[in-house]
Amino acid sequence: MTALPDWMRPPRAEGWFAEDLDSLPEAPRHTELIDGALVFMMSPQRSWHGRVVTGLTVALMAQAADGFEVEREMTIRLDARNRPEPDLILTTASFDPDRTWYAPEDVQLVVEVVSPESAHRDRTVKLHKYAQAGIPHYWRVEDEGGAPVVHVYELDEPTSTYAPAGIFRTTLKRPVPFEIDLDLNGLTPPRRT
């Protein structure tokens, strides 16, 4: 077995903390911290995933109400040991070109576009962690034969858990966190046969 590079060794006996991600320039792009463990996205990203994330980013930016910003592939510092990187967030924090993470109280919506590599984390681990952090809205986008299907959740504050708010195919219309009307079929080009 080859030796691990020095940067992969935790800086303390307790392991990794959220602030450590900002001092790991050698780490692969899209490195997350989940329960104090570094998680690397090592498999190649599918074109479908990139198109859906880009399409959602553009559509949400066009519809965003005043006081909202759309950001992609930025971490959220949930607590000292968790700093996941969702595909997309909707935040009330103002734009800061030097920002490297967002606080959960500034995040209104998290969107995870499921990849084979991230499926378990997106469907279970992150669903729970985002709810516990108090993020009001969570969307999980699944690939259904090439078409994006959006599973929408809203936070039930007394229980700090997400309640399903619908599964959307073709179009997605939501009144929160602002009026949203999305053509889901338009997020990816049709498959050629």
Q: Give the CATH number, domain containing residue 179.
A: 3.90.1570.10
Residue 35 lies in a domain: no
Predicted pLDDT of residue 152? 98
Residue 120 lies in a domain: yes
pTM of the model: 0.92
Residue 116 lies in a domain: yes
Distance CA 155, CA 132 (A): 9
Residue 24 lies in a domain: no
pLDDT tens digit string along 46-86? 899 999 999 999 999 999 999 999 999 999 999 999 999 99
pLDDT tens digit string along 178-187? 999 999 999 9
Q: How many domains does the chain have?
A: 1
Distance CA 99, CA 95 (A): 8
For residue 72, what are the domain limits?
47-187
Residue 105 lies in a domain: yes
